[in-house]
Homo-oligomer: A and B are copies of this chain.
């Protein structure tokens, strides 16, 4: 992974173009073959909002804007049945080469595009299936930066992934939709009426983490309990968001501990940005697990570059 390629061609627009094209957002990066960002472009133009003509137009406009012709590496829901074309998942355990070889070349507008497959797994722990589409770029980017990494990696977000790495390959993973639960339950309905302000780190958040992690009761009961705490005067409305977020992250951590019994004493890289990663970091610290933030854009750029290098061989 220490290969360095210098095409010397960035100035005339032949660098790498990587696109993370999800359901709701379009994020494109133009970078040197060394993975240095030249320019980026984003638009709330996810595939769920576009038909095929709209996708073509968007790619053509990007190619013109950057004066490039491709290839474009495109990850995310663009490779699903609501995107340009459904690309079958690579099955875990899967490494970078497995994903690169399963990429599907298509033409979108005038551009040659490589649709990167997601990854599916059947978990050893519970036999349950799981899927990702898009996160694999950041994960293999992280792996390119830390090729010796073995252990858990988490990607906190709306649908947080907890991924087991071994020997540069993704072994299996689980996804918690706790971000979506948090967003939707605090936006409307029973819990919205008792929440004032945003979640933040602190004793109330960590109380939630502990209760969620102990799992004496399931989440649907614990979440109602947040309301009961407020109505009975045991929790301030301004602290309710922190408590609820704590319950949800605590429950995820219990899952991570169950799947990965030697988590104690481990270091968990958190790929993501900002305040949410800080909450996960604090929650993990409360059970003695250290974590380190990994910038998600840096991981994404490294992932596209690693894919490009493998495909060039």
Contacts and interface: CB of A to CB of B under 8 A. Distances in A.
A252 to B, nearest CB: 7
A220 B234 contact: no
Interface string A211-249: 110011111111111011101101000000000000010
Contact of A218 (B185, B218, B229): B218
Interface string A163-202: 0000000000011111011001100111100000000000
Given A177-B190, A189-B180, A225-B129, A220 B248 contact: yes
Interface stretch (A120-128, A267-275, A285-293): A120-128
Given A220-B251, A232-B131, A189 B178 contact: no
Interface residues of A, number: 47
B189 A224 contact: no
B220 A177 contact: yes
A145 interface: no
Contacts of A128: 211, 217, 222, 225, 228
A218 B129 contact: no
A217 B131 contact: no
Interface in A251-268: 251-252, 254-255, 258
Interface of A: 89, 120, 125-126, 128-131, 159, 174-178, 180-181, 184-185, 188-191, 211-212, 215-225, 227-229, 231-232, 234, 248, 251-252, 254-255, 258
Which 9 A/B pairs are nearest by Cβ-Cβ distance? Answer: A218-B251, A178-B220, A219-B219, A176-B220, A177-B224, A175-B224, A129-B232, A129-B228, A176-B221
